[in-house]
Chain A
């Protein structure tokens, strides 16, 4: 048996299992018979296993250099290091769809374990009214992905005349180990959104509009956490490797990953209103449909070739299929919503000056930003269609429009959680005064330090948000210690372990405010300059002095690496902690011909990052090298902020030691 044969059969088996699952779910729904549901529940692990076998077969083909498989011949070479071989399944179109599909079967299997099978499972949270639809939707998504693979983008297509060696994956993808992390996190987040989407559809079909929000809380947070981690990981990757010293370029595909995050964030905030006040049901249905559709939209953008991007894989029929799928998702989600819209009308009054008012306003901001990113990404196509003119919409535009939205979000983030539900109380004046003072103090301090207005404001907003968290924790601790008669410290520990959602969201919010500071400073004070140095020549710039010591060449496995050895030392305060020896490289891969791929050297410090790129070199005698120096402040804090946000999410999701108490307090039945 060959890996290609095994993989092809496993793919087909997954498609069949998915179809069987879908049909069984349909029968369960139509005949209202639990036996079909039970059977469908049992099909889910089988499709997961079959998909795993298929994925394993692709790894097997890669590890054994089976070039009779077209995918292996095109994207693998015998010289690839082991880790590159292991991550090659998601280095190109067919394999990345396989990864997506496999993760989808995993989520379907996890959901199937939640189905109430008549008291068999310990904590059933998917009742038999909605289970057929929820599982059916997930099976239907699986059917789409595996049908695309079986009929259009087959990862195990055979090559009649296999070559002796392949071309290897795109060099850009093998230049950094983040390739092993970022795409998987992204897909875990994208696919994770399918679960709340499926629950939402089932809720609309079964006309049970409330409980799905509680039941998918865990799933939504998991997906959101993965999306957040993936976006930061991707930003860090591009900072380390793309060789321009930036972390976010508003590239169409970066945008495509940002849109689901924005909509999922909006959804996460409005679900709180539904949980607490039973309101906003139609908006939640709409938001989750749009968030899931946005993940498909991103795939459509990358796979269709309609938009130029550094991430684009290929054009072909796959893009068109994803467009159809996208329209299907939107049609079903919004169609169902319009069908039940007369029933989901909520009753109640919302005051703007209340927790729910702030949550709604936050969701408005995130929704607006998602709208702007969609329009900005697609508008060049619209302009071209309407006037045949070509325009570009890039970073300068997005930076300008996102700044005010970000400031508004940061302002809301501080005041929102301090406000009580339903109505403001008398203590709000005092809180507002404290928060306003913190904001003012931080901003004025920044201005006194002669910082730019934007950077100063970001400092003020960080102080304001830290202060808000302090106020909330202080209030909670006071209440608890006086009502239970325990010490403040003990009350704090109890609060932190029992209200994980509150504490976790505080942590995430602090991370967000810190990220805003890092972004404001790194965007405002980024410095870059390029200069050609001869061996031994010194160059003073941005508070550092560079000396070019050596230009050399190394053979590294499947690539040739030209490097420049540079000594750097600080000459004034601006060059704090810059001292060191830097080796910056240009890597030459056989697939890329004479186009070198930069592997910059950089030093992270708590203050400035020193980033050195080799841009050109003397090919004849190695006597000079052109170096680009990029000095950017506080970028390190962006990665710390990302880690804080991910840890905050993890803190919420971490299984609670006191499930009873949590549930009684309206906590997470996750």
Chain B
């Protein structure tokens, strides 16, 4: 038994690692191709907080990556693999919301936002142009300007 092994066993005992995040048996996890990570990136890690199955090191995410690798090896397409996870966990598992139903609105949000702001801007600019064309200044505005031009002390009582 090498010293490394003894040290690692020591670690196991010290931390009480009876159920490591990594499998305790010496079976290493499967090798994962870039394709696996690409697909996993679009899937939510169900037990994590805002991490994808590609990033998380949790047991569930590792299992998901293993499943993806397995299914890729069976020759399944990306869409089929995604469907597999949707059937298991519901559409919530997909990080990219479907372009239908209620989540269609999210996809439209850039257009809606731009349209709303542009409409507001257009209305504003039409109003300012109309006002500029009018060209006159109301008495109220003159009064306010005069008030602003006076030094503060004449308006504020000073001690």
Q: Which residues of A come within 8 Å of B, CB atoms?
A: 32-35, 116, 118, 127-129, 207-208, 242-244, 246, 249, 251-253, 279-280, 282-283, 308-310, 312, 343, 345-350, 360, 364, 367-369, 371-372, 375-376, 379, 382-383, 386-387, 389-397, 401, 404-405, 527-532, 550-553, 560, 562, 588, 590, 593-596, 598, 615-624, 626, 628
Contacts and interface: CB of A to CB of B under 8 A. Distances in A.
Contacts of B28: 532, 616, 618, 624, 626
Contact of A396 (B95, B105, B112): B95
B50 interface: yes
A528 B34 contact: yes
Contacts of B14: 560
Given A383-B103, A619-B12, A621-B2, A394 B52 contact: yes
Given A371-B109, A619-B22, A252 B15 contact: no
B113 A371 contact: yes
B51 A383 contact: no
Interface string B110-138: 10111011100100110111011010000
A617 B26 CA distance: 9
Interface in B1-28: 1-2, 4-5, 7-12, 14-17, 19-24, 26, 28
A393 B15 CA distance: 37
Nearest to A613: B57
A41 B114 CA distance: 43
Given A346-B128, A389-B91, A532-B29, A560 B102 contact: no
A348 B132 contact: yes
Given A389-B90, A619-B26, 12 more contacts: A251-B50, A308-B49, A375-B105, A389-B92, A393-B103, A394-B44, A394-B52, A560-B14, A595-B58, A617-B8, A620-B24, A622-B2
B65 to A, nearest CB: 8
A553 B31 CA distance: 24
Given A347-B131, A528-B34, A620-B8, A244 B15 contact: no
A560 B11 CA distance: 8
Contact of B128 (A249, A349, A623): A349
Nearest to A382: B102
B157 A282 contact: no
Contact of A393 (B57, B65, B106, B121): B106
Interface in B49-63: 49-52, 54-58, 62
A391 B103 contact: yes
A517 to B, nearest CB: 22
Contact of A249 (B29, B51, B106, B144): B51
Contact of B50 (A32, A309, A383): A309
Contacts of B62: 615-616
Contact of B9 (A312, A594, A598, A620): A620
A412 B121 CA distance: 17
A338 to B, nearest CB: 14
Among A246, A249, A282, A368, residue most surrounded by chain B Cβ atoms (within 10 Å): A368
8 closest A-B pairs by CB: A394-B95, A371-B113, A244-B55, A532-B28, A622-B4, A396-B96, A390-B92, A347-B131
A494 B42 CA distance: 52
Nearest to B125: A350
B54 A244 contact: yes
Interface string B24-51: 1010111111101100011010001111
Nearest to B56: A244
B140 to A, nearest CB: 8
B22 A616 contact: yes
A309 to B, nearest CB: 5
B64 interface: no
B75 interface: no
Given A367-B113, A528-B37, A392 B93 contact: yes
Given A310-B50, A389-B91, A383 B44 contact: no
Contacts of A251: 50-51
B139 interface: no
